[in-house]
Structure 1
């Protein structure tokens, strides 16, 4: 096992005085293309990464769930019968009032969501101890939360014999994040983390929830994905993100469709005559981004990964100019990477900070990192955190 997995095992042994029954893990994820399309019932193309969260677990003889992690020395325990009262109110209440620390709301929320999935009577299950360790970078838009959820639901599905499908696991993770934690996210992160495959992305239709792997061929073609974390912090709960969602909803309503998923590039000329300028540009990003995701899937299949660079760049330009969610640091990262010879680059995530990704030749990684760092220094920006990620497998039982 990896050092991070060993840390989870050691933490479990300190907590319980015995070895865990199982160790499960799930990865973080990066999004190759398809930004802000998820809540518009559109298309996304994320991939799981090699950075993972590990959950060492074992059954208890009582009805208690107890969780601990390497980033908080204080265990949190709750009776399973108390979970409905804890998380059954308004989303995130238990976190806001301090009944559960936010980090613990992820695994404990998964247990609650798993027990209440389907709306029927909760199954009779034993208590459980869970010790968590992770090497998924926090704050870089790589969904460390979905990794916790994926590792936890993999372990609980095993210990509690729930017989869940991967999509059911992803739905449980989303429910935990939406209601136990109170973060209004879609299901992309959980699907990517749970269903990921080596050197493949996961194409997800956010309306039907149909998901399938798409071969990337990065390893075969000698390409790496460089993450450029600007270290500019952002919050999805404040103005900009909310305004973008409201603009999308308004655009769909004024265009007479259920969601922007129902519009095509051919509808944009008509939209320009109906919508105000700002709403039109927000709508234009979503409509063209959906098409770029479809085009990326087709191009990967027909021409290979070196041919998708223009689509990645077009995605960034659309987010910068039409959706207006980029910041100078992200633009600098993308421009510097491209000037250094990257196949393609774009900001990734919700915007207003966070990270960019660049598709780079293996042999050009160090030169690209140096070029980006120099560009940030010249601009007077804080030095970015840069590292590569590899498209990897999803949820796994490791021991």
Structure 2
């Protein structure tokens, strides 16, 4: 794919790029909506990536083109980049440039051509992949010397402030920092990381992703409402973040919230979800991969009933996969659509796949997109300058 992206760059801009970079989407194995509560998450990178061919400019101009969006090259002036003014796909790469410059980094312009295989709107972090690939390219080209966690922070700021989506730090960190064959146990408070081996094939297992093709948008309000509710819960409980509520003291904490029913539900999910992440980490370290299945199911029930961010398609995917023999299943991502995951014995993949296809058809839903998720490398440079550069 890198050669094709470099060739298209040359067609667009008249010369080859200085390099080509890739950043992956991600699946979150467990730990949903905990990242903006200073909690624990456990994503892994997908083989699906956003790829960027990039060259520097010195004239304060940013030129952007995407193979995945109709239209020509979009030209922006760096001095004109202003948060909240761009509602198009260009807000993600432009927001990264804005965030870098706001942080004092000497970015003077760029030509960028992007192409992505990360499904959009599927809860697999297509936007974070776009942000991280542009950030990594500019870090390399301008020799900024940023650490991966710093790139993730800048990309989160681009999405929070420039795009206006109140997401946590997980997606960008997963894209920037995940390693091949591992899940990333991330403490979102201090960004400490542990790479946990997650070799499904060696255990005779597969993880199916069920893209329901129901689209969501984090910036349209519901995600923000959940975040505000969590912040309210932390304030009422007198803690900096819900991460600080111990699982063993959950019942007492909920009692203190009184008749704040919605806040009670949100707090209960976050506190129990953090504990689920820790259980999954312990099970994987012990080599008990199959035993994480029931924990995934618990997570889905919590997201459905307490956080209330599931939808009929996601619930059907989970229920159908479990009925067809999956060891565990849950929705993944921000919710209100997107994808579910199902932990399946390798011998049962065809059975579960067929059951899902038939169930969606019987319900009159759009046919889901199904694929196996394999833990893949994080963001990386694919090649150096084009020979024609």
Report the TM-score, using the length of structure 2 for normalisation.
0.92
Equivalent of 2:297, from 303, 310, 313? 313
* Partner SS, residue 71 of structure 2: strand
- Residues 216 and 304, structure 1, Cα contact 8 Å, conserved in 2: no
Equivalent of 1:367, from 351, 360, 375? 351
Partner of 2:337: 353
Task: Give the Å deviation of 1:180.
Answer: 2.1
Partner of 1:303: 287
- Paired with 1:269 and 1:287, the residues of 2 have a C-alpha distance of 10
- Residues 200 and 213, structure 1, Cα contact 8 Å, conserved in 2: yes
- Paired with 2:220 and 2:50, the residues of 1 have a C-alpha distance of 28
Question: What is the aligned-residue RMSD (CA, Å)?
Answer: 1.8
- Residues 123 and 332, structure 2, Cα contact 8 Å, conserved in 1: yes
User: Structure 1 residue runs of 4+, over 4 Å off?
Assistant: none
* Partner SS, residue 335 of structure 2: coil
The yes-or-no answer on 1:331 pairing with 2:351 is no
Partner of 1:221: 203
Structure 1: tracts of 5 or more residues without a match: 97-101
- Paired with 2:95 and 2:214, the residues of 1 have a C-alpha distance of 29
Inter-CA distance 78–313: structure 2 relative to 1 (3 Å threshold): same
* Partner SS, residue 29 of structure 1: strand
Inter-CA distance 60–246: structure 2 relative to 1 (3 Å threshold): closer
Partner of 2:97: 111
Q: How does 1:66-215 map to 2 (within 5 A)?
A: 66-70=63-67, 71-80=69-78, 82=79, 85-87=80-82, 91-92=83-84, 94-96=85-87, 102-117=88-103, 120=104, 122-123=105-106, 125-215=107-197
Inter-CA distance 20–379: structure 2 relative to 1 (3 Å threshold): same
Q: Deviations over 1:99-137 (max 9, x none)?
A: xxx2122222212222232xx4x43x5532111111111
- Paired with 1:200 and 1:280, the residues of 2 have a C-alpha distance of 34
Partner of 2:250: 268
Task: Give the Å deviation of 1:223.
Answer: 2.2
Task: Give the Å deviation of 1:33.
Answer: 0.6
Q: Deviations over 1:199-254 (max 9, x none)?
A: 11111111112222111121322322211122223333345433322332222222
Partner of 2:18: 21
- Residues 199 and 219, structure 1, Cα contact 8 Å, conserved in 2: no
Task: Give the Å deviation of 1:77.
Answer: 2.1
Inter-CA distance 285–370: structure 2 relative to 1 (3 Å threshold): same
Q: Which moved more, 1:286-295 or 1:324-333?
A: 324-333
Report the TM-score, using the length of structure 1 for normalisation.
0.90
- Paired with 2:133 and 2:177, the residues of 1 have a C-alpha distance of 12
* Partner SS, residue 54 of structure 1: strand
- Paired with 1:380 and 1:39, the residues of 2 have a C-alpha distance of 35
Equivalent of 1:232, from 200, 203, 214? 214
Q: Deviations over 1:229-284 (max 9, x none)?
A: 22223333345433322332222222222221111222222134222243222211
- Residues 27 and 147, structure 1, Cα contact 8 Å, conserved in 2: yes
Inter-CA distance 157–272: structure 2 relative to 1 (3 Å threshold): closer
Equivalent of 2:37, from 36, 40, 44? 40
- Residues 7 and 133, structure 1, Cα contact 8 Å, conserved in 2: no
* Partner SS, residue 142 of structure 1: coil
* Partner SS, residue 20 of structure 1: coil
